[in-house]
Every structure is written in structure tokens, then in C-alpha cells.
Chain A
């Protein structure tokens, strides 16, 4: 069951798609961290957080997460997210791909 060797470098489009998927993976973690912030708030007492502020914060973060997810999903094309783990061989390596601006993409993970 050895993984088939995929291409080591992807052309720019495929590279972008991979990064979009990475962002989609990171998003829930970001959400957990941001929604874990309420754990740090003082619990009751004189300087307690008013409920309205707590609601604005939590709903704000939540809505931003949903919005970010919508943006990410809209930028995922049908082609790339189909089988991200087994990249289809895409066209020849373009010069731009190796340029440090984008950095190399390591093949099968």
C-alpha cells in the first residue's frame, strides 16, 4: 500500500487550492481558541463581564467563523478539493512555482 509518488511541485492553481484546504483545516482550531477566550473572563463579582458584551463577542466570533468558512469554500474549485491527498498529475512545473514567492510544495503527505 505504498503511496503513489505524486508530483513534487504543483502549478500555481493547485498550490492555491491546497493552501485553501489548509486554511479550512486551521479554521476550526482558530474557532476553538477564540471561543475559549470566555474561559478567561472573571466569573461573577464586581468586575464581571456583562452578558450583553459576552453575547456580542461570542456571536461576533461565531459569525466571522461562518463567514470565513463560506469564503474559503467559495474559493475551492471542484477540481482541487476532489482528492487533495492524492494529487492528480498536473501540468509541467512553471517557473513561478519554484520562485521563493510561493515556495515549493512537498508532494504526498
Chain B
């Protein structure tokens, strides 16, 4: 028969083996040979702490009582894990980039590093987890008792609390030893992780062994086992309350994300984000393996064991009753592994939260000296953590003692799940919704926690233990709508589904409602952006506006938290990065962020933030700072826009100036040419006048015809001079605006006829093409001046048209409120670069010998300006083309 002594011996050997494994793993990690310790397989196995003793033993009991409903506990986490792309990947990324140490740290960090929120989360986690630890202690004592019952030679002490105490003490020793070896969460707990991975293998193998024994050893194969299940009176048919099926899947899925111990192994101990991918299928596979044989064991236990046997212990008592002591011991080790691994990790997770968010802030404020005192405070942190571990385990033991280890405890598993599920809205809201605020999270957590306490936790002790039976039946003070199992008088729901539904629903409502209507602090907004957009920028948040911080003070503080060597290394590397000699880098914002993040790995984000804040002084970032940054950016943008506009303007001006300069240069050349021309023009007639007048004066005996001839020459030359001077005078008058117009009425055709006649020259030399019908327009203008313009244009055509049969087309058009008369010849036209010059004074094109002083077109332009019209060169007409434009009213008025 089973020997209790054998059991104790095997357990001790197993525990010693676990110590050795943990120690070996720590040693290997210290020597840098931790590669194999950190494989995805180890990661996945460490996740199996989800399966506690409650699932190892309790699942069979659950199945024996409620059929396949036990599967929901495994299906929920499997689905969350299969959907790793949604939430887990993001949480793990955030955890790694922000150095998150616990679920409380995650939530407080997200909502502006609020320590108040961290304290609230920590307290809820402690309240929710303590009963669960008690449950593990109970399972170990129960399994020992089950062995004792099978061995009549041993008489166990009347109460088996001593077992629980010993187990709790042993677990505390293990956790303290391997869970607080180092402070920086960056150096993860290799020993612990390795030990729980090993335990995961043991518990899986143990359950599979019992299952295989049940199906093939005593069940006679798969077919017979299934037939026996169907034949079972209680479990033969599918029976399920739909609300519980879906509600429990949701609850267990939420628990995977929210349970502090799951967060510890999923996020904090995560070495490589890619391990999640392996876990996404390996973890569900582990879950399937853990739950596959539960139903056959339950059915076999119900049919083969005596009436009244505890179904929770079937895993143990079934092999025992068949006389397979070895298998039973193996099964015991499986259950023991489940219990211990859960307690160890839960204690580490809770102690991190308690020491970072409760003990350290209190110690810092009590010590009164702030963060600047010298001396290593690492021992304080580690001591806080050790005391927290012992405290958590003691609380668990106390709870076990007080609750009496009865059946009430069995129901606590799901109630514990629903307690931590209150983190879910703040957590998911925090990582997916930038609008989530601290006030919203706080309100949601408190409301959800209160409802959970009232509807689930307090009634779980049983009628009349904490809540009087009358209160549960009729509500407090007879207020029926406050009945714990029928809030708002809605009855008919399963108590658990009822509690979960109301607590999570109102939690979410309060969280979203208050988030929408409250305004987050700048820090919250920064952190919110960091969390929600973690994939876009895994950079650190902008925090400190350094300057007043003293590097030496920071160094003193860092040494106390990180250890002298680590801190000096950090400072030295930063100084080297900044290009500063020695150990003291400038306390700029980048460095402060880096330092804060290193510290938060030791003491949590909120405490690290507070400590750096004490030294740096003042708020990390204020709205004013943000506004200043925004203003500055806006100003810079404005300035650059202005610069751009200015540079455009400058470009335009420069171009105009260049054009003007080119024009001036050309004009200057023209002017020089004109001056020599005008001197020449003036000189030639002067010379001949002088010469012939001297002949007339000095040469006697000239005949009368000769005298006449010479006098004629002198006269012609004088006329030529006069014309030149007239032109110059005319232009000067026109330019000064001193001209007075002589408005008369005339037909356009008549003016043209007059101009053609006045232009002189040989009428047959220039072929004319006119548009007589259109020339019937009456004009009311200074017709003499207009004729002068026409004469000039016609004379130009005569003079300059170089075609073999010169031709001038005079086209008349009306439209757009003006009259246009085009003079187009069939000559070579005017070069593009000359076109802008021809209307300038003294402008002469090319080196043509055709005389003229180059004033004609300039005069035309001035005349047309006086007549409120214009004269322009019309390019692209196959010859020189000028367009004379007159405003239409002047044309119409005479119609």
C-alpha cells in the first residue's frame, strides 16, 4: 500500500531536484550560457502555470459535477492565445519597450505613471489572488490526506494545517531564494522559469499517465471509454447553461491577460517577442492535452469509486484504488508541481507590485530624506520584496485557515478570475484607445471591484459567514434591488454570470464614460500615445526637461538602486555617448529618460518617475511646455512659409530687374548709336548748307540757274533739319502730356485714304489690300493724330518691307469693346529680341539705310496713349504687323 513516508521522501527529492535545476539555470545564465534556457518551448511551458492544482485536480471534480463545462476554462485562454496578433503582441511589445514590471505597472504607466492607480490595482490583485493561493495549499494538503486515507497504518494529526504551513514555508523559501536574486527585471528569473517549465512537463506527463491508464488500462480502449461516458447517468448527455458556456469562455480568456502571474510569465519574463508565435499554437495544444483525459477519469471515478468519494481527488484515488502506487505518486507530483509553480510565480508577481507601488513609496516618504541620500537602497527594495513574498504566502495560509479548507474554497477559482478580470477594460482601453484617462480607469476599477466584492466575493464564504443570509435573500436594509445575486432585481441569472456581467459591464461603462468626459494630464496623453501607437514608435516618451538636475545626485540615487558598478557603467557609457570625459554626463532629457527606464526595471515606472522627479524637480512636462513646443513648431512653419513667399517675390523682382537691365543695356547701345546717328544726321545737312552758302557768298560769277540750284539744296536741307527737330519737339510735347487733342468726327476709311495719300511715295510700289466695307465706321477722335499714326505705319511698310512684291494688308476688326486696325506687310518682320525695342525713342532696327531718326513709332505710341488706345507689335503674322487699338466708345459714339 501507499506509504506516506515514501510520498514525503519522493516529494523532498523532487523539491531538491527543482532547487538544483533552478540553481543550475541561474549559474548558466550568469555565465552567459542561457541561450537554451530561453527557447520558445521553455516560454510556452512557463505559460502553463495557468494550469494550477485547481485545474489539475479540480477539473476532474468539475467534470464530475458539471459535465463538459470545465472545457471553458481551457478554451478561453486558447482563443486569446490563437488571437495573439490582437492583444498579446501589443501588450508584450509595450511591456518590453516601457520596461513594465507588473500588471499594476502597466496600468499606472499608461495613465500618466499614477501611483494611486498602481496601488488600487495592487490591492485588487492581492485580494483576488490570496484565495487562489489558499486553494493551492488546500489541494496539496488534500492530496496528502488522500494518501494517508489509503494507508491505515498512518494516523495524520487531527487537522492537516501543519502540511499547509510546511508547504507555504517551503514555497516562501524557494521564492525568496530564486525570485529576488536580482533586482533589475531585465535580468529575468531564469531559475524560476526553468523550474516551472520543468514542473509543466511533470504535471502534463502525470495527467496524461493517469489518463492513459484510465482509458487503456482499465477502460478497455477509446471506443469502450466513449461508450461508457455516453452510458453515464449524470454525464452521458450534453447539458449546458448557455450563459455559463459563453460567460466562462470570456472570463477565462480575460484571466489569461489580467492574472498577475500570467502577466509575469507572458510579458515580464518574455525574452523574445517571437516566442509568442510558438506559444500561439503550442499553448492551445498543451491545453488540449491537459483537458483531453479529464472526462474519462471523471466517469471512471464516478463508476468505480465508492459513493461519496471526493471527485476532486479522482486523479489520485483512482490509481490508488487500483493498487498502482507508483502512478499515484507520479500523479501527486503532478498536482504538487501545479500548486507550487503557481504559488511561486504569483508570489513573485504580487511582491513586485506590493514592493514597487506600496512599500517603496511609503519608505521613500517616511525616510524623509528623499531620493538624494547616499547609501545602497537596493537592500531595501529586495527586503521589501522578500517581506512581500512572505506576507503574500502568509495571507494565503491565513485565508486557508480561516475559510476552514472546506468546499467553499473550491468555488473561489472562478471568483478569483472575475476579480482580476476587472483590469480588462482599463488594460485593453489603455492600449487601444488614446482617449482613455486615469479618472476613467480609476472609476471603472473601483466600481467593478465594489460590485465584485458585493456580488461574488463576500457571498462566496457562504450564507451567514460574512453576509447574513437575510441580506443575500432580501438585500441590505430590505433594499431588494441590491440583492447580491439579483442586482437591480434582475433574477434568474446564474450567480457567477450575474456577477461577472454586472461588474465588467458597469466597470466598462464607468471607464468609458468618465474617460470621455474628463481631461487627461499631459503625461497621460504622452503615455497614451506611446502605448497605443507602440508599433509606430517604440521610442521612449519625452519626459524630463532637464537642466536643474544634478548629475551627481542622479548618480548617487542610481548607485543605490542599480548597484555602484552598474550605475557607473551606465553613466560612463552615457558620458561617452555625449562626448563628455569622466562619469558625469549632462542631465539632458534623453539621459533622464534612459535612467528612468533603467530604474523602473528595478522599482516600477511610477516610483522611478517619482524619484527622478524629486531630483530633477518640478513637473516632468506641463501643458505650457507642450504648447511652447507646438507654438515653436508653428512659428517655424510660419517663418518658413514667409521665407518661401519672400524668396518667390525676390525671384520675380530679380527677373524683372534682369529684364530691365537687359533693356537698359540695349537702349544704351541704341542711344549711343542714335547720338552718333543724330550727329551724323544733323551734320550732313549742316555741312552741305555751310558748303553751299559759302559758295554763294564767296564764288563770284555764278550763273542764275546755279545760284537757284544751290539755294534749293540749302532749302531742302533746312527742311530736313526742321522735320527732325519737329519730330523731337513733337515727342517731347507728347511725353510731357502738354498736347491738346482736337476731337473731330471722321470715317475710318477717309482717315486711311488721307494717310495713304500723305505717306507719299510711289503708289504702285506697295500693293494694298483693304477691307472697305468694314472701314465705314465713324470715329470721334483726334483724327489728325490718328492719321499721323497711320501715315507712320504705312511709311514704315514702304520703307522697310523687303519682299519682292511688297504688300500691305489693312484689317479692321471690332470686339471686346475696342476697335482694332492691323497693318500687316509681307516682309521679313521684326526679330523677337527687337520687338520690345521698336517703340522706344531713338530705336532703329538693324542698320537699314532708310533714314529717319527712329522716333516715328515712339511718337505713335505716345499718340495712341493720349487717345486711350494702344499700338502693339503683332507677332506671328508672316511679316511686320502692327495693331492699333482704339476704345470702342470712341468708335461707337460716331455711328
Contact = CB atoms under 8 A, between A and B. Distances in A.
A54 to B, nearest CB: 5
B536 A85 contact: yes
Interface in B139-175: none
B477 interface: no
A28 B80 CA distance: 7
Contacts of B85: 21, 24-25
A43 B239 contact: yes
Contacts of A67: 281
Contact of B238 (A24, A28, A49, A65): A49
Interface in A28-62: 28-29, 31-32, 35-36, 38-39, 41-44, 48-55, 58-59, 62
B529 A73 contact: no
B156 to A, nearest CB: 37
B236 A51 contact: yes
Contacts of B533: 1
Given A51-B237, A59-B288, A85-B535, A66 B68 contact: no
A53 to B, nearest CB: 8
Contacts of B239: 43-44, 48
A35 B238 contact: no
A25 B71 CA distance: 23
Contacts of B245: 38-39
B238 A78 contact: no
Which of A51, A54, A62 has the most C-beta atoms of chain B within 10 angstroms of its own C-beta?
A: A51
B285 interface: yes
A93 interface: no
B37 interface: no
Interface string B82-103: 1111100000000000000000
B75 interface: yes
Nearest to A28: B83
A96 interface: no
A62 B295 contact: no
Query: For the side of the interface on B, what is the size category?
Result: 35 or more
A51 B82 contact: no
A31 B310 CA distance: 34
Majority SS at the chain B contact face: helix
A86 B237 contact: no
Interface residues of A, number: 44
A3 B348 CA distance: 39
Interface in A54-94: 54-55, 58-59, 62-63, 65-67, 69-70, 73, 76, 78, 81, 83-86
Interface string B249-292: 10000000000000000000000001001101110110110001
A51 B295 contact: yes
Nearest to B243: A39
B494 to A, nearest CB: 14
Contacts of A84: 535
A36 B246 contact: yes
A26 B696 CA distance: 121
Nearest to A54: B238
B284 A48 contact: no
Given A52-B226, A65-B284, A58 B277 contact: no
Given A1-B533, A39-B242, A43-B238, A28 B288 contact: no
A98 interface: no
B134 interface: no
B221 to A, nearest CB: 13
B17 to A, nearest CB: 31
B79 interface: yes
Contact of A55 (B68, B82, B536): B68
Interface in B337-396: none
A83 B83 CA distance: 17
Given A50-B238, A52-B226, A86-B536, A65 B82 contact: yes
B794 to A, nearest CB: 66
Given A38-B245, A51-B68, A28 B86 contact: yes
Contacts of A59: 288, 292
B529 A1 contact: yes
Nearest to B237: A48
B300 interface: no
A69 B240 contact: no
A51 B239 CA distance: 9
Nearest to B236: A51
Contacts of A70: 280-282
Given A24-B83, A38-B240, A49-B237, 18 more contacts: A28-B80, A35-B249, A42-B238, A43-B239, A44-B239, A48-B238, A49-B238, A50-B236, A51-B229, A58-B68, A58-B71, A63-B288, A66-B82, A66-B288, A70-B281, A73-B280, A84-B535, A85-B536
Please name the 5 residue pairs, one residue from A and one from B, whose CB atoms are nearest each other, closest first: A28-B83, A70-B281, A49-B238, A48-B237, A52-B226
18 contacts: A1-B529, A21-B85, A28-B79, A28-B80, A35-B249, A38-B245, A48-B238, A50-B238, A51-B68, A51-B235, A58-B68, A59-B292, A62-B287, A62-B288, A66-B78, A66-B288, A73-B277, A73-B278
